Amino acid sequence: MEKVILEAQKRTETGKKVKSLRNEGKLPAVIYGHELGSIPLTLDKKETVHTISKGSGSTLLTIKLEGQEHAALVREIQRDYLKNEVLHIDFLAVSLKEKLRTQVSITLVGDAPVLEEFEALIVAGLTHIEVECLPQDLPETIEVDLTGLTEIGSAIYVKDIAVPDKVEIVTSPEELIAVASAVKEEVVEEAEEELMAEVEEGAEPEVIERGKAEEGEEAEE
């Protein structure tokens, strides 16, 4: 595994002063855990954003601080979605000698034969699964092959997926990953039939919330 290093400095600026750091192209952050307590950091914004954009929440990073290196995972990224800007990052320091439990993303790969043959729908279940292993053995993502979905009702569960020998899956084996669902035309037809039935029966839309109490009615306190 290639070592990914981020250079960091201890940060003394807090509160409103942090804004000036961002204006200088710096990114405020914090690293905590594994006997470190909580240490405020400053990193180069451009380099850091570029690095984390290439990885995932299970990508092992090395935070280099005052000559010492700390293995860490990204635990939280605060963003300004209007400006499309990263504001702050929380890093979790980990020990390379101790197993940890964390979520790893699922990536669906391959073409499911049921899509072309039956024009079915692939309904995704879990997007992440929990695993336990040493930090350096964490997979970036877990690929799930869809080529085994050959007919309507075919499904893939956690128990069906393969992971490296050093990785143990903690999530229940019966959790659903993906399933081949009803034919597209049938879904549309069912929706149209339900709509026509409601029209014929003169069904009225459900009242979710009333406005003012009608005249003569007593409003509940």
By DSSP bridging, strand 128-133 and strand 68-80 are: unpaired
Domain membership flag for residue 59: yes
- Predicted confidence at residue 89, as pLDDT, reads 96
Angle at 206 between CA 204 and CA 208, to 5 degrees: 150
- Predicted confidence at residue 201, as pLDDT, reads 59
When the pLDDT of each residue in the chain is averaged and rounded to a whole number, the result is 85
Q: Are residues 85 and 112 in the same domain?
A: no
End-to-end CA distance of the chain: 64
Domain membership flag for residue 212: no
Q: Which token pair is 190?
A: 């069912």
**Structural element, H or E, at residue 80:** strand 68-80
- Predicted confidence at residue 212, as pLDDT, reads 41
Domain count, the chain: 2
By DSSP bridging, strand 61-65 and strand 5-10 are: parallel
Q: Is the pTM of this model over 0.85?
A: no
Domain membership flag for residue 221: no
Domain membership flag for residue 149: yes
CATH number for the domain harbouring residue 171: 2.170.120.20
- Predicted confidence at residue 192, as pLDDT, reads 57
Q: Which token pair is 100?
A: 């940890």
Q: Which token pair is 162?
A: 């393969």
Domain membership flag for residue 147: yes
DSSP state, residue 137: G
Instruction: Give pLDDT < 50 ranges for the chain.
Output: 187, 203-221
